[in-house]
A and B are shown apart, each in its own frame.
Chain A
Amino acid sequence: MNETLVIIGNGPAAMRCLESLLEREPDRYRILVFSAEPHPAYNRILLSSVLAAEKAPEHIVTHDWDWFERNRIEFFPGTRIDFINREHGEIRCQDGRVFAYDRLVIATGSSPIMLDLPGSDLDGIYGFRDLDDVDALAREAESGEHAIVIGGGLLGLEAAAGLRLRGIDVTVVHLCDWLMEQQLDPRAGEMLQRVMEDRGIRFMLSARTCAYLEGVQPGRVGGIRLADGRELHADLVVVAVGIRPAAGLARAAGLECNRGILTNDAMQTSDPDIFAVGECVEHRGRSYGLVAPLFEMARTCAANLAVIGEVPELPAAYEGSLVSARLKVSGVDLFSAGIVQDGPEHEVITLVDENLGIYKKLLVKDGKLVGVLLYGDAFDASWYFQLLADETPIGPMRDKLIFGAAFVNGEGETHGAALSLPDEAEVCGCNGVCKGAIMGAIAAKGLQSLEEVRAHTKASASCGGCTPQVEELLALALGPAAPKQPSEKPVCACTEMGHDQVREEIAANEFASVEQAMAVLGWKNPEGCARCRPAINYYLLCRQPGRYRDDPASRFVNERVHANIQKDGTFSVIPRMFGGITSAKELRALADVVDKFAIPTVKVTGGQRIDLLGVRKEDLPLVWKDLNDAGMVSGHAYGKAVRTVKTCVGSEWCRFGVGDSTALGVRLERELWGSWTPHKVKLAVSGCPRNCAEATIKDIGVVAVESGWEIHVGGNGGTKVRATELLTKVKTADEVMDIVFAFLQLYREEARYGERTAGWLMRVGLEFAKERVVTDRVSRELLCERFRESQAVSRSDPWSSETGLPAQAPESFVPLETPEPLIV
């Protein structure tokens, strides 16, 4: 018989604890979940969005009824627990039913503090804490004209903004001199107040409410009275002055409580069989009302529940959290963490732009950041927070710190824009994933890493260009709980090994096949996956040119059929035009295949050649044959391979040209084509520094100058533009060839599969390449030699019949011919 685990509460902390436990020990416990609310589990943090009518209640459900059923959890919604009998190990429901437990988790959350004032029993006074509150407020907003929100803190302002969006007048009555005094200083509080006033919300500060007044309708609130005697009219009143840990149940059961339920670092209460997580907890003297710490507690609790009784000591420990706050009112960008009010012991760095509505304040003590307040521009929130959490000495960057990460890192990176985006803004352009979907998936599915976000949402799973934004969103969602990425990530889920390690093993062992490599290197899935198979195939091919037999089953379809798959399953075919030079004969052959195979689209590419789009798979071998007969070869426009060498006309025609860029471009492409590389490689040659071939955003860019040729490397014109860095300058075209060979071979041997030259050089540094390719002559010659050796067997056209890879048997391009017509 399984042990029984009872969980009281179904808020975010309880649900995260459950999920984490199910991941570890899905079968250990019979699990019962009790919730006083009649709803499935929902994301309380998004209540303000529901009130603002930006989201429907069903959109904030995180675990529906089916989830409980699928996970065989007995769920008791609308069932309040009114007693814990620790002596018998039982809980009693309000309806009298009794359930036994072996372990108990209390996750009762918090209750809004309702002011104990004269008239507090009148109707029309609400908290702002759960779906029922929101539901009631939304209904009141339909008939009421004026609402008073008592409390100008985070929750009160969110309630006020939501009610205002529902179309009623709102006045916020706040006890302190400025808004959000816990998180803001007076200046930021004023700026916030102005923005909220622009939206039609009124404020009464330094105002103490001393009574609720009865309105025209008997028994119903009609306004409030302030301590100075003023009376304010209202059709409804929302009280948002704070929350209090809901510790009553635990206290009645004799568990040690202070303001909240006291727990140790293992999240155990004074009764070792009873755990507590979430807002009801008081841990090391602190209670938390923000999601990140609650999740940390939940994970700790789950880890301990998974092994309790089986190990002498509970393994997981929660050590408290550094918290940050972010106001969830759309259009207001506000972040604060650490210490907010500066004292004499602090150095204060501020930046104010009244016109743009930007105010940043950093507090520094003993050379470390201790407080961050960002208003109007919270782009760098996660970066500052990390500095704060890590207690990073800020000495070296002190003078630039206030300007943000981009400035400090000096990279001119566009940084952090994702944070201020509205939910519906598209973050991943490749897969059409908006910010809301990413944040929703992180919260609903408890995602912890970039990989998981990619798996669940596809965001940044394609071009990866939005990876920094997604990482930022992840950090924003997880706060300090965000795990740090290891320096080199595993190739994929099939292994723990990173790319560098796999390649070292391949160099040492010279495996004969992808499968053999996986078997020897302890792959978890014997046949790997779509990520690791192509990588290993490439490493083997690069290491053992001519000896290793390319594996079509490890090639992405494009590299298998030497054409580029399109969204409708047809293909595009791009023949090479060396250096962008073509001829009447080639153009005629192209025109002929277009007519012959009714190819719908003919497009001039950015790489100075011609793309035939919409070719049916069964026509591919025939199209190739005709092009091949006209002397054309594959452009590898689909592969992780050398693509094009773009050129300008150069000195042969151009009145400015100082070098024959066309001739050099043709020569380069003729020598380099057919080479497989870690990622695509694009080149360009310009005939003068006007650089019409745009060589300085290519992987390798050659630019003619009066005295010879400049060779630039590591540029990128795609997802993220990066200009090249100058590798070296040489005098002759022959020298260009040597340097390019050596550089390309170094990239082939050193970069990780899937890494462009730009990313690789940023990782290893230009000096590394300079040393191996330019300075060290012996190294350069060896690299060139290995490149030539590889090219000797690579420079063969995949389209030509002599190549004869098995996948290119023409019959494999057509559907199977069945002996008899198939019938249904």
Chain B
Amino acid sequence: MSAFMSSAPRWQVVGHIDQIPLRGARVVQTPLGNIALFRAAVDRVYALEDRCPHRGGPLSEGLVHNGRVTCPLHQYVIELDTGEAVYPDEGCVTTYPVRLEEGRIEIDLTGSRQTEPSPSGCAV
């Protein structure tokens, strides 16, 4: 949980939705490391740390389906919305708030979220 959760979000423009293919992804480099922007639907973009919790694979290269991405290295499936690995895979990825303003993609790097560690899941 970020220490900045309580402060107001700081939206920063990272690009335009047309730059991401439908059911594809692009990477944006940030001071917090590479973040993958997934376009799961025509008007739906998610931002996740570009690193699979399993062996660190680049999620941005994965197949996108039904709001999930399958990691290209060992087929871990990650929920784009929460960053959580889909059962029975375990683990989770940091997510960042994203919004679309007239096609511009804006991201709030202060709002990083990691789903509460579950007993067998995130607390690695």
Query: Which A residues lie at the B interface, using CB under 8 A?
Result: 64, 66, 70, 431, 445, 455-456, 458, 461-462, 525-530, 533-534, 552-554, 556-558, 561, 565, 567, 569, 806-807, 811-812, 815-820, 822-824
Q: How far is the CA of A806 from the CA of B21 in the complex (A)?
A: 8
Contact between B75 and A824, CB atoms less than 8 A apart: no
Contacts of A445 in B (CB 8 A): 88
Known contacts A529-B68, A822-B30, A823-B12; can you find 17 more A-B pairs with CB under 8 A? A527-B23, A527-B66, A529-B65, A552-B21, A553-B22, A553-B63, A557-B63, A557-B72, A812-B26, A815-B34, A816-B28, A818-B13, A818-B14, A818-B28, A822-B14, A822-B31, A823-B31
Cβ-defined partner of B31 (8 Å) among A806, A812, A815, A824: A824
Q: How far is the CA of A557 from the CA of B32 in the complex (A)?
A: 25
User: A554 CB to closest chain B CB, in angstroms?
Assistant: 7
Contacts of B31 in A (CB 8 A): 822-824
Query: Which B residues lie at the A interface, using CB under 8 A?
Result: 12-15, 19, 21-24, 26-32, 34, 37, 55, 57-58, 61-66, 68, 70, 72-75, 77, 88-89, 107, 109-110, 119
Contact between A526 and B66, CB atoms less than 8 A apart: yes
User: B55 CB to closest chain A CB, in angstroms?
Assistant: 7
- Which B-chain residue is minimally distant from A571 (CB atoms)? B61
Cβ-defined partner of B70 (8 Å) among A525, A529, A822: A529
* Residue of A455, A567, A818, A820 with highest tally of chain B CB at under 10 A: A818
Contacts of B70 in A (CB 8 A): 529-530
Q: How far is the CA of A462 from the CA of B55 in the complex (A)?
A: 15
Contact between A816 and B27, CB atoms less than 8 A apart: yes
Contact between B61 and A816, CB atoms less than 8 A apart: no
The interface residues of chain A, by DSSP majority, are classed as loop
User: A566 CB to closest chain B CB, in angstroms?
Assistant: 9
User: A66 CB to closest chain B CB, in angstroms?
Assistant: 4
Q: List 27 A-B contacts (CB under 8 A).
A: A64-B119, A526-B66, A528-B65, A530-B75, A530-B77, A534-B63, A553-B23, A553-B63, A557-B61, A557-B72, A558-B72, A569-B57, A812-B21, A815-B26, A815-B29, A816-B15, A816-B19, A816-B28, A816-B37, A817-B15, A818-B13, A818-B15, A820-B13, A823-B109, A824-B30, A824-B32, A824-B109
User: B22 CB to closest chain A CB, in angstroms?
Assistant: 7
User: A375 CB to closest chain B CB, in angstroms?
Assistant: 37
Q: How far is the CA of A285 from the CA of B15 in the complex (A)?
A: 73
Contacts of B24 in A (CB 8 A): 552-553, 807, 812
Contact between A66 and B55, CB atoms less than 8 A apart: no
Q: How far is the CA of A195 from the CA of B76 in the complex (A)?
A: 45
Contact between A533 and B65, CB atoms less than 8 A apart: yes
Contacts of B89 in A (CB 8 A): 455
Contacts of B65 in A (CB 8 A): 525, 527-530, 533
The list of the 7 closest CB pairs from A to B, nearest first, reads A530-B70, A553-B23, A557-B61, A527-B65, A816-B15, A569-B58, A66-B119
Cβ-defined partner of A556 (8 Å) among B13, B34, B63, B66: B63
